[in-house]
Amino acid sequence: MYVDAASGEILPDGAFEWRIENPYVGIMKNTVRLTTDGSWLEIGEQSRDGGENWKHFFEMSLRKVE
């Protein structure tokens, strides 16, 4: 499968977003945010129409344990 290199940026609200484009599945992006309680929240979305509409396909919340 052919995949371009991933690109990433810091969003105005401080979240980090990275994305890849693939001719078979479209654009896939993951957005990572640190929540007020210190958790890492990551949401994955996919667009098959060039970024007009996004479908939520993945979510995870992680927190550090001592």
**Pairing mode of beta strands 55-62, 16-22:** unpaired
Instruction: Render pLDDT for 6-18 as a digit per residue (tens, 0 to 9).
Output: 899 999 999 999 9
Q: How far apart are CA 1 and CA 33, in angstroms?
A: 29
Q: Please state the pTM of the whole predicted model.
A: 0.82
Q: What is the arrangement of strands in the sheet containing 26-34, beginning at the earlier edge strand?
A: 7-10, 16-22, 26-34, 40-47, 55-62
* Confidence band, pLDDT 50/70/90 cuts, at residue 1: low
